[in-house]
Amino acid sequence: MTPDTPQPFAHPVEAEFARILDFYGIPWRYEPATFVLERSPAGAVIEAFTPDFYLPDQELYVELTTMQPNQIRHKNHKIRRLREIHPEINIKLFKRGDVRALLLKFGVAGYEEMMANEL
């Protein structure tokens, strides 16, 4: 992707992460894959997970969250389940503190407002 490619990001933090990746010339894809985590006996999808970014050069999926630590149990469950089903998949979860530190490090204006809205 390039900075000129508009993306329908779910949260402003995702847009800022994409800008940082673009600045450093790191190729990325936004929500490129959905992994089925559980199916019903009839084959219907019960639970699935779509990581926010894929960095092809690093073969790494990235999930960002601004949720409070006591509220990310569900997200942690999905990542654990993904690792059980697909141990070959590399994924990194950037929790609220990680996201805040990243935004501060890169001098992103308005990061406090972004952190107020949960992702």
Would 5 be classed as within a structural domain? no
pLDDT value of residue 119: 55
Number of domains in the chain: 1
Would 59 be classed as within a structural domain? yes
pTM of the model: 0.82
Parent domain of 68: 12-116
Would 4 be classed as within a structural domain? no
CA dihedral 17, 21, 23, 29 (to 10 degrees): -110
Residues 6+ apart with CB under 8 A from 25: none
CATH of the domain at 50: 3.40.960
pLDDT digit string (tens) for the chain, length 119 residues = 444 555 689 888 999 999 999 999 999 999 999 999 999 999 999 999 999 999 999 999 999 998 777 778 889 999 999 999 999 999 999 998 888 888 888 877 766 666 666 55
Would 23 be classed as within a structural domain? yes
